[in-house]
Structure 1
Amino acid sequence: MTTTAAVREHDSSALARVDLFLVAAVATVLITRAYLAATGYPQIGSGPLHIAHVLWGGLLMASALVAVEIAAGSRVRVLAAVAGGIGFGLFVDEIGKFVTSDVNYFFQPAIALIYTVFVLFYLVAREAIARVGLPDHRRIAIASTAVTDLALGHLDDVRRRAALGLLGGVRDPGLTGTAAALRAALDAGDLPQLGVGSRVVRARNTVTRRAETVLGHRVVRRIVLALFVIQAVLTAVSVIVALLGVNDSEIDDVSDLVVTVSSMVSGALAAAGLWFLVRGPYLRALRLLRASVVVTLLVTQVFLFAQEQWGALAGFVVAVVMFECVRVAIRIEDDAADIQGPEGC
């Protein structure tokens, strides 16, 4: 295994729990807002009393935290990820009340703030897991959790094989004895059927593999490339129009200015990426295209959500697909570089 490949190793179970937390949180926000709109925003309570759903969110998050503190094994961590995600979704859905003096649930930029929180959570969590990686002491810690699950009757063959694989990568002479003891413990005892934690990890891995197969397909990559071309052309046209003074419309507020500037930056990065896609190097082109989509996701889409609320959802979905397609292409190129060495594409 090369150094680059080793750096990309991570705790897949931890990543699956983070994904589960965020999926539960996002689904909760969508379902809550849809339910409230369909029922005319009912009030839970009577008279001046109103039990806001942020309270239920806090209760669920507290319950998830306490469950992790008092229970052993990894199964409770999966359940806590779901309960905590639902609780966080109920909490962050009322962010409009917390940032306005008149406690306005319908504060227009609230959706943009919620979106920003979820994106930052996702990026920071993935980066943290990737940076921690799987050094020998962490391999021992994860395998120890598997032994705990075995004692509780929660371990299944999928997670046992994963733990044994981690122990096989331990190279520190001071930890090889511990790794051998853990390996012996994992080899003993009967295993139950596939557990909740392994189902989550297996489902996530299956979805990821299928999604990457689709995103790596030639037709999908060409469609995404066409979208980058359209983006670069539209940016060039908008710059030309602005220089010629053909469009006399004025920018109404700061959000319009940010959307305009960030769109131009994203378009310029896309144009640079397309240039290097033709002239090389290929990896530089892909990274510029990825930077273009990141600007769109983390800047342009935030302010579009603030302006249009759910009307910007379609653009967000397209940007996510473009980002994932470029990410898969970069990973494939990195893997090829690990095997063949640094060569031009």
Structure 2
Amino acid sequence: MNTVTVNTAPSAEGYDRAALGRFELFLVAAVATVLITRAFLAATGYPQIGGSGGLHIAHVLWGGLLMAAAIVAVLIGDGSRVRTGAALAGGIGFGLFIDEVGKFVTADVDYFFQPAVAIMYVVFVLFYLVVREVVLRRAMSDRRRLATGVRALTDLTLEQLDDIRYQSALRALDEVRDPALAELADSIRSGLLSQPPPTGGVESRITRAIDTLTQRTAAVLGHRAVRRSVLALFVLQAVVSVVSVIVAMVADVPGDAEADDVSDLLVQLSSTVTGALVVVGVWCLLRHHYMLALRLLRASVVVGLLLTQVFLFAQEEFGALLGFAASLLLLAALSIAIRSEQAKVPAPA
């Protein structure tokens, strides 16, 4: 008789982690597809498939085909592997689709339309923010916990269930509190306990690798030296902002230093807002209001990501990727620091 070890630790997740993971896979696949496609086309001189005879097979068509295949797979397939595969294929398809957005917003069908990268950036950011908010705010009710158990039982039957999702499903069933659903929860639990899940599955190894990478990254970004370096960087930025304002007030600024177009003006305005938040945050830091300072500094990074970065992508296209990556690292470091400070506050009785 096989013995199954059940992790009875309470689950701290109030949302469907699997659903959010599939969406993140979709989004990462889409972003990676755009970057790889643009790099490949630039390296090969932008070849055209079917360019002879007046025909041109745009890769947006392949993107639509992959998205259609992902939808059909979800409609007719069973098990988590189908949903994961559909997320990957749909993400690649969406990346091929959105990569040609410049052709569909210009009268001359211009693939190289400069603001196209900014449009993609806005779509990806809004997509992530909206879907993540929907998933996190969707209550994990008892019936949803039962549905999680049923999906796990289906995957177990199809030999697609890894041990991580197996333990997660058992914890979800343990958290069912409605007496009317207790018998059904026990039945599903008995089905899961009837046989152990396959060990060492691909999904399980990937999940463990991602968790390990996340924990090590958080440990590095949460280190005291890294935190002090980040705060020193913001102090330097605050000093530069104040000095720039003083110089602008006392110096005779020539006319050609004004914004040349609306995009430049908006970059200046959003940068001003970001600089003001940084200055106030550093002032709070010097006044020993540490938590408020961290929140203001994080707000400055968020404003930069949601506003300034959009116009930088419009102006510099993929040249703005380095600044975007640096902003993400700063945001992660500040978020970890805020969580660390919150953990020091004792919970109310």
Provide TM-score, normalisation by structure 2: 0.91
Helix, strand or coil at the partner of 1:26: helix
1:176 and 2:213 aligned: no
Instruction: Look up the match of 2:291.
Output: 283
Report the RMSD for the aligned CA atoms in angstroms: 2.0
- What is the distance in 2 between the residues matched to 1:52 and 1:106? 14
1:167 and 2:173 aligned: yes
Aligned letter for 1:324? Answer: A
Aligned letter for 2:17? Answer: S
Equivalent residues of 1:8, 1:133 under 8 A apart = no
- What is the distance in 1 between the residues matched to 2:251 and 2:181? 70
Matches within 5 A, 1:55-134: 55-134=61-140
- What is the distance in 2 between the residues matched to 1:82 and 1:144? 23
Moved more, 195-204 or 182-191: 195-204
Aligned letter for 2:285? Answer: L
- What is the distance in 2 between the residues matched to 1:202 and 1:17? 15
1:225 and 2:231 aligned: yes
Equivalent residues of 2:280, 2:296 under 8 A apart = yes
- What is the distance in 2 between the residues matched to 1:179 and 1:187? 12
Change (3 A) 1:42 1:123: same
1:43 and 2:33 aligned: no
Moved more, 57-66 or 195-204: 195-204
Give the drift of 1:125. Answer: 2.1
- What is the distance in 2 between the residues matched to 1:251 and 1:98? 29
Instruction: Look up the match of 1:53.
Output: 59
Give the drift of 1:7. Answer: 8.7
Equivalent residues of 1:7, 1:133 under 8 A apart = no
Instruction: Look up the match of 1:9.
Output: 14
Provide TM-score, normalisation by structure 1: 0.92
Change (3 A) 1:28 1:44: same
Instruction: Look up the match of 1:312.
Output: 320
Moved more, 6-15 or 99-108: 6-15
Equivalent residues of 2:27, 2:124 under 8 A apart = yes
Aligned letter for 2:162? Answer: D
Equivalent residues of 1:272, 1:288 under 8 A apart = yes
Aligned letter for 1:256? Answer: D
Aligned length: 337
1:23 and 2:28 aligned: yes
Instruction: Look up the match of 2:342.
Output: 334
Instruction: Look up the match of 2:141.
Output: 135
Equivalent residues of 2:11, 2:172 under 8 A apart = no
Deviations 1:156-206 (A, max 9, x none): 222111111111222222222222111111101242233344344333322
Deviations 1:241-297 (A, max 9, x none): 332243321210111111111111011111222222333543322221111001100
- What is the distance in 1 between the residues matched to 2:289 and 2:143? 38
- What is the distance in 2 between the residues matched to 1:28 and 1:203? 22
Equivalent residues of 1:58, 1:91 under 8 A apart = yes
Instruction: Look up the match of 1:256.
Output: 264
- Which ranges in structure 2 are unaligned for 5 or more consecutive residues? 1-9
Change (3 A) 1:139 1:332: farther
Percent identical among aligned pairs is: 60
Give the drift of 1:66. Answer: 0.8
- What is the distance in 2 between the residues matched to 1:246 and 1:208? 50
Change (3 A) 1:153 1:50: same
